[in-house]
A and B are shown apart, each in its own frame.
Chain A
Amino acid sequence: MINNESIVEEVVGQFGQKVFGFEEPFGLLTFTTNASDLIEVVGFLKNHPQFKFGFLTDLAGIHFPDNTGGELCSVCMLHSWENNIRVRIKVFVPISDPKVPTLTTLFAAANWQERETFDFYGIEYIGHPNLKRILNMEDMDYFPMRKEYPLEDATREDKIDALFGR
């Protein structure tokens, strides 16, 4: 029976210090790896004969402004259907040089999700076949999901912001 412990065991056994920060929030195994090892780790999990993490469920970016040196996080979530177990892998990169290797070599589904993350956070996926903005206009010059950018459209006129501490 495969459970979180056996995965941790196996992954740590394979990669040692390259994987760290194991957590289990709400039963979902989460760990961190370095950008340089991401492909290897994900590929290992995908091709593992027992784990069979053959499905990339989700790929997203996160911005932690207070986490100096690793402000941007690219998180991907794998799912093993046969064993019905999920795993979440995080990669932290500095905002000054946000470079993460692409997962498109392993999962075709990563293509647009990485483009979206690039669009939102400016995380550059090395080796991505077509890394350009997907949802926003091409000529946008900032990454809107980063925390420093305001939500509101500056051109809205019909609101009084002074009310109720909004």
Chain B
Amino acid sequence: MNQVLTPAAGITKGSFGEVRLERVGKIYEKEIERLVALDEFSLTIERGKLTVLMGPSGCGKTVLINMIAGYEQPTSGTITLDGRPVQGPSCDRLVVFQESALFPWMSVYSNVVFGCQVQGIDPAEIRAKAELILRKVGLFEFRDKYPAHLSGGMQRRAELARALINDPKILILDEPFRGLDAMTRELMQEFYVGLFEEFGRTNLFITHEIDEAIFLADKLVIMTYQPGKVKAEIEIDLPRPRDFKMLASSRFMQIRAQTLELLYEESSKAFASGSKAAFDLVGALASSKDSCRIAG
């Protein structure tokens, strides 16, 4: 897949944005319940860097994305993009969703050009741009197919193309490779990291997979469980361009062990507070306390 990565003039470089979250809080009030999803969350998503966010389920990652994208408003604090406050959805902050959000009733081509079309860009320009980007992601021959007729990996590439053609200042990816089989997932990571290394752009990537996180990231942010806060920021100093062989490097394994430790700590806390998402730890904590040993 690397062979398709030749520079394409249609995708402009340099529209890098910087997102600053300052003491952001988000509280949900439902009936009598009061859920503090985020509390005093401060983070800078640096210009041109790939920031990866991890944390136990239910730590407010999705809320965070929704607020950066402008689908929801924070209860307190400010979110700014290049110094200007974020208000409502806009095409300078595009999200690639967990479950594919390609419009199933449009062909790949129509999906990719949708944004440009509704913004009223000149059709000839759209066509040229779309062709370039479709070739870039290796989907040019598939442009007339519907999303359901593509493989999972192709769908993800189509979605990346739909976002990139609009030249967003920040690209937000919410567990984009979830649901793909392990093999496709690894190849997509390679493809995506290649794309990133070529074009830069500010990226925020959310994932559950520890290997994926370390393989991709410039900076790894680990969140705490309810209320969501920044627990740790780890600079990933693996050299770029990244290569799959790094997965077997000792530096990689070191970072992995360190990250796992932090995540385990958070999951235990989540488990202790009764989160169903951290349920997997049941039995594990008990057996580690030696209160109950497996005996043949």
Do the two shown chains form a genuine complex with each other?
Answer: no
B-side residues, CB < 8 A to A, are none
